[in-house]
């Protein structure tokens, strides 16, 4: 007979706290998905989560911290996707596949892209949040750097990773709201440009 793993009330309380944090972050992401990022506030998220705005502050000390936690969840998903592509695409054009997936992810989950540009362009963050943002960016750039290093490039892999990241984000910024084209046409155009960039960097 299996003996149940020891669990204390402290463990249960921690699990409950984590579950409530997840509910709040889930609600924040749903709000970000339908409302312009700069117009989202804590009351909107509280209403979506079905709690008071005061309750949110028990789990997140301020609005920036909540936004950052939601953004970091997106970064983790991107990293997981890159790792999966690398594991399942050993002989193909890995860089091209990663760029295509990056564009797809940030097009389908536009709120992550809006959060990223907010933090990088507009947000004045507390030092601890700046460190979290830098760590997330570093993890993503390290994945790209590893791809360049594995490809035996004669260029500096670190510089190449940063240049690629900037180029692909430039495509997303320049064309995601391209006037006069429907959503699919815009997506196809960004994917075409992403493939072109990846091939030039390969």
Query: Quick check: 1 pLDDT over 70?
Result: no
In this prediction, residue 2 has a pLDDT band, given cuts at 50, 70 and 90, of low
**Which among 12, 22, 24 is positioned nearest to 54, based on CA atoms?**
24
Query: Quick check: 38 pLDDT over 90?
Result: no
50: left (phi over 0), alpha (psi -120 to 50) or beta: left
Say how far apart CA 194 and CA 187 lie, in whole Å.
10
Taking only the tens place, the pLDDT of each residue in 140-187 is 999 999 999 887 677 899 999 999 999 999 999 999 888 889 999 999
**Which among 76, 83, 61 is positioned nearest to 129, based on CA atoms?**
61
Specify whether the CB–CB gap between 5 and 27 falls below 8 A.
Answer: no
Specify whether the CB–CB gap between 98 and 85 falls below 8 A.
Answer: yes
Query: Quick check: 131 pLDDT over 80?
Result: yes
* Pair of tokens at residue 143: 């994945």
In this prediction, residue 90 has a pLDDT band, given cuts at 50, 70 and 90, of low
**Which among 29, 26, 196 is positioned nearest to 109, based on CA atoms?**
29
Q: What is the pLDDT of residue 64?
A: 86
Say how far apart CA 48 and CA 84 lie, in whole Å.
32
Q: What is the DSSP string of 126-149?
A: -HHHHHHHHHHHHHHHHHHHHHHH
Reported residue count of the chain is: 202
Cα 191 to chain centroid distance, Å, stands at: 18
């Amino acid at each position: 007979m299996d003996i149940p793993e020891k669990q204390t009330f402290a463990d249960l309380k921690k699990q409950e706290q984590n579950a409530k944090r997840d509910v709040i972050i889930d609600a924040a992401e749903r709000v970000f998905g339908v409302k312009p990022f700069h117009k989202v506030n804590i009351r909107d998220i509280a209403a979506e989560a079905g709690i008071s705005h005061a309750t949110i502050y028990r789990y997140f000390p301020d609005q920036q911290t909540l936004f950052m936690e939601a953004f970091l969840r997106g970064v983790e998903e991107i990293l997981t996707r890159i790792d999966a592509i690398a594991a399942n695409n050993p002989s193909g054009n890995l860089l091209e596949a990663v760029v295509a997936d990056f564009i797809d992810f940030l097009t389908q989950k536009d709120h992550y892209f809006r959060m990223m540009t907010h933090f990088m362009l507009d947000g004045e963050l507390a030092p601890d949040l700046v460190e979290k943002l830098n760590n997330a960016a570093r993890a993503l750039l390290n994945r790209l750097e590893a791809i360049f290093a594995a490809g035996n490039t004669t260029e500096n892999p670190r510089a190449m990773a940063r240049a690629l990241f900037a180029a692909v984000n430039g495509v997303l910024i320049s064309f995601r709201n391209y006037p006069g084209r429907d959503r699919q046409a815009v997506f196809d155009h960004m994917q075409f440009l992403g493939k072109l960039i990846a091939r030039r960097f390969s």
